[in-house]
Amino acid sequence: MSKKINRLVVIGLGLIGSSLAKAARDRGLCREVIGFSRSPDTLTKALNAGIVDRVVHRIEDVAPELGEGDVVVIGVPTLTVPSIIRSLKPLLADGVTITDVASVKGSVVNAVREAYECIPPQFVPGHPIAGSEKSGVDAVNPGLFDDHRVILTPLSETGSQHIQLVQALWEGAGAVVSKMTVAEHDEVLAATSHLPHMLAYALVDTLSKMRENQEIFRYAAGGFRDFTRIAASDPIMWHDIVMANDKAVLSVLEALSENIERIKQAITTGDSDHLLGVFTRAKEARNHFSKMLENKAYLEPMTQIIDYRVAPGGHVSGEIRIPGDKSISHRSIMLGSIAQGVTEITGFLEGEDSLATLQAFRDMGVVIEGPTDGRVIVHGVGVNGLKAPAGPLYLGNSGTSMRLLTGLLAAQPFDVELTGDESLSKRPMERIATPLRQMGALIETEEGGRPPLRIKGGQSLKAIDYELPMASAQVKSCVLLAGLYAEGVTRTTEPAPTRDHTERMLTGFGYRVDRKGAVADLVGGGTLKAVAIDVPADISSATFYMVAAAIAPGSDIILPHVGVNPTRIGVVNILQMMGADIQLSNHSEVGGEPVADIRVRYAPLHGIEIPEDQVPLAIDEFPALFVAAACAEGQTILTGAEELRVKESDRIQAMADGLKILGVDAVPTADGIIINGGPIMGGEVDSVDDHRIAMSFAVAALRASNPVLIRNCNNVVTSFPGFVSLANEAGLNVVEERR
């Protein structure tokens, strides 16, 4: 802001007034700072402490000199503001800017309207969200507003030059200025400030009356101190605030009273699920809130872009623990939520995709504890126990969440909207809307069958016999999950085997699924019973380390406890066909899923024609396999993989573009790619926000002659939190850069 303030008059030298005056003086925000207070003692202190340049003892004494460019700040308690405004009105010229710092804006604006019989353009209502339980001029702190918010609530009548001056004043004092309407301000503050203060006062008051000798305070622990710190604030000020914002305070108090009534009832009846629900939801909300504050979201741009700079060369070795399987993690939350009883999950993937699913079910009223070190506890609500979410379910980057949830939600009694990030918003959803509509669901998509999806509640579904037009586990799972709610036998037939976690896990939850070759059948209307789920390591994430070891001479790596479901091991088959040295050992089965330790040692690779029947079994692994092909001798040809073009990105194009930049001969085709192995240079490639593209190019650097800079790697956390540190532990040299 370039606006320069001439004189600043601060009326009322309490904590806020004196701190603003001192900040303005120390930081040279204006030519002169003038202070007024009804207390001569305060004025003397303000002068002695260098808070103001000069003081006036009567309000009339300052007003006549003021004009355009001068700012008067009314810094008195909320209920005193009207009388100050009344006395200022005949004194101040039209050009003088007037603002206030009261915590309630509605009552101040009303007082101004009454005094002036209109809203004068010179008046800019304001409220700094700063303070402490200390008050008065003795507590002066010129740094009080640094990085704090100031909310201005200008009205349509307010003059823009006056807004600019007030904004410049607060920004100069270190604050971040935002604007809202008066009503919005008073509602938000009632909930986040006025009510908490009132509760702190009420609690201390109640406890102090409970025992004559008040000995309980002697035993008060940290919780009591934390909760009641604000009850040491100025009682007159908070009395004024609550009185002035009565309606908004009463309305949140009403909502809180209902919640407390319900808690009382839960304690009386021993309803532990209810209590746990309240506490868990609150903890999550509080964590979310702390993160927002830590990020200082309103000060720094929220989205810093992450790039990876990977040094060339090296090899990988050691035992590497890969995070949990994404597909299984999603399904464990979904089925756990609609099961009866408590499902305990271990090894859950704490990546953004599976967390999006977790959050969606919390939004639909399911109590979910964790995740803590991969442990999640889902308090199932039964097949018909989900509740309408308060708003759209945001599913981030996760196609699996959106497609499977749409099936599960197609027959709920409530409407629901599913939204996602930029990449998900471009992905095809007609493939699930079509069979669901055949079942009787009402689903609206955006143009071209893209998200957001709007599902109309209250539909009764009829089972269908669905032949999938493409090999897609997500479409199959979507139809089967809708089938749980449909009348009759829902049947899916797939053109080629795809991952069968849904079928296996339904069986694990005690729901009968009949399977014969490509066909899976289930009868709607049954129930699921909670079960413990141990999520194995994700073979799709393990792939980056398998390929790393397969291409980098000297590598020898062990990946323990990886899911090796036959519908997922295309990558092992393909790499072995290319000559890779891969051994599986320690075979076991956890929760109906085969698991093994995978050891990969370097061996020279050669190009192959990838058999098409392997494509659905390695569908997510191709970006990394293309890197293996680039390091193999000879040509590798992939066909029958057009699905790769509609993943988180067009993976054929994105990989071909990046490989070419790195000097590799890679020719994209409509349904695959042709890669001729050869040396990899270095260079700058773009992951196009696709997690698997980013990680594949990081691995490619092992065989590069120069550093590889990979742009836009933020989405790696969707499937592989901790990728960079694990990569470095294994022997890569990846530096995360932020811009």
Residues with catalytic annotation? Answer: 620
Task: Decide if residue 477 touches ligand S3P (CB under 6 A).
Answer: yes
Cα(121)–Cα(284) distance, rounded to whole angstroms? 44
Site for ligand S3P in 151-210 (CB under 6 A): none
- Nearest distance from C-beta of residue 693 to ligand S3P, angstroms: 13
Is the CB of 50 or the CB of 495 nearer to ligand S3P? 495
Stretch that binds ligand S3P, among 29-37, 217-225, 408-416, 468-476 (CB under 6 A): 468-476
CB of 714 to ligand S3P, least distance (A): 18
- As a three-state string, the secondary structure of 381-439 is ECCCCCCCCCCCEECCCCHHHHHHHHHHHCCCCCCEEEECCCCHHHCCCHHHHHHHHHC
Residues 6+ apart with CB under 8 A from 566: 497, 594, 617
Return the number of the residue (8 or 688) whose C-beta is nearest ligand S3P. Answer: 688
* Per-residue DSSP letter, 606: B
| Nearer Cβ to ligand S3P (196/566) | 566
Binding to ligand S3P, residues 677-696 (CB under 6 A): none
Interaction of residue 474 with ligand S3P, rule CB under 6 A: yes
Least spacing, CB of residue 723 vs ligand S3P, in Å:
16
Tell which one of 350, 421, 500, 620 touches ligand S3P (CB under 6 A).
620
Which is nearer to ligand S3P, 400 or 412 (by Cβ)?
A: 400
Smaller CB separation from ligand S3P, 347 or 682: 347
Candidate residues 165, 535, 619, 724; the one interacting with ligand S3P per rule CB under 6 A:
619
Rounded to a whole number of angstroms, the minimum distance from the CB of residue 448 to ligand S3P is 17
Nearest approach, Cβ of 619 to ligand S3P (angstroms)?
Answer: 5
Shortest gap between Cβ of 672 and ligand S3P (angstroms)? Answer: 15
The one-character DSSP state at 662 is T
CB of 647 vs ligand S3P, minimal distance in Å? 6
Beta carbon nearer to ligand S3P, 562 or 709: 562
Cα-to-chain-centroid distance, residue 21: 39
Cβ neighbours for 122, distance < 8 A, ≥ 6 positions apart:
92, 94, 95, 96, 97, 98, 159, 162
User: Which residue in the set 472, 492, 543, 714 belongs to the binding site for ligand S3P (CB under 6 A)?
Assistant: 472
Residue whose C-alpha is closest to residue 243's, from 446, 102, 365: 102
Q: What is the DSSP letter of 324?
A: B
Containing 314, the helix (H) or strand (E) segment is: none
Which of 439, 440, 443, 438 is CA-nearest to residue 406? 443
SS (H, E, C) 32-87: EEEEECCCHHHHHHHHHCCCCCEEECCHHHCHHHCCCCCEEEECCCHHHHHHHHHH
Which one of 32-40, 212-220, 332-340, 470-478 is the stretch in contact with ligand S3P (CB under 6 A)? Answer: 470-478
Dmax (CA) of the chain: 94
Q: Are 127 and 151 in contact (CB under 8 A)?
A: yes
Pair 596, 586: CB distance under 8 Å? yes
In terms of CB distance, is 494 or 534 closer to ligand S3P?
Answer: 494
CB closer to ligand S3P out of 98 and 473: 473
Q: Quote the strand ranges of 80-145, DSSP E.
A: 97-100, 123-124, 126-128
Q: Considering only residues 356-385, where is the footprint of ligand S3P by CB under 6 A?
A: none
Strands 123-124 and 126-128 turn out to be unpaired
CA 333 to chain centre: 18
| 30-36 β-sheet, strand order | 54-56, 30-36, 5-11, 71-74, 97-100, 123-124
* Cα separation, 146 vs 402, whole angstroms: 42
Region near ligand S3P per CB under 6 A, out of 184-192, 301-309, 362-370, 471-479:
471-479
CB of 397 to ligand S3P, least distance (A): 11
DSSP symbol at 633: B
Q: If we measure between CA atoms, which residue out of 148, 201, 138, 205 comes closest to residue 173?
A: 148
The 8-class DSSP code of residue 634 comes to S
Site string for ligand S3P, 323-342 (x = CB under 6 A): ----x---------------
Tell me the window of 60-68, 196-204, 469-477, 527-535 that interacts with ligand S3P (CB under 6 A).
Answer: 469-477
* Closer residue to ligand S3P, CB minimum distance, 459 or 472: 472
What x/- string results for residues 386 through 405 when contact with ligand S3P is judged by CB under 6 A?
--------------x-----
How many residues sit in the footprint of ligand S3P (CB under 6 A)? 10
Min dist. Cβ of residue 719 to ligand S3P (A): 8
Between CA 177 and CA 175 the distance in angstroms is: 6
**If 0-12 CB within 10 Å is exposed, 13-18 middle and 19+ buried, where does residue 274 land?**
middle
Q: Which residue has the tokens 């040491």?
A: 232
Contact 353, 328 (CB under 8 A): no
Task: Please give the residues from 484 up to 503 whose contact with ligand S3P meets the rule CB under 6 A.
Answer: 499
User: Cβ 520 to ligand S3P, closest distance in Å?
Assistant: 13
Decide: 700 and 675 in contact? Cβ < 8 Å: no
Site for ligand S3P contains 565 (CB under 6 A): no
Cβ(505)–Cβ(332) under 8 Å? yes
480 binds ligand S3P (CB under 6 A): no
Of 52, 68, 57, the residue nearest 9 (C-alpha) = 52
* Nearest distance, CB of residue 326 and ligand S3P, angstroms: 7
What distance in Å separates the CA atoms of residue 499 and residue 512, rounded to the nearest whole number? 18
Does 593 contact ligand S3P by CB under 6 A?
Answer: no
Answer yes or no whether residue 473 interacts with ligand S3P by CB under 6 A: yes
Q: Shortest distance, CB of residue 504 to ligand S3P, whole angstroms?
A: 12
Q: Which of 193, 490 has the CB closer to ligand S3P?
A: 490
User: Which is closer to ligand S3P, CB of 123 or CB of 720?
Assistant: 720
Select 597 or 650, whichever has its Cβ closest to ligand S3P.
Answer: 650
Q: Which residues of the chain form contacts with ligand S3P (CB under 6 A)? A: 327, 400, 472-474, 477, 499, 619-620, 643
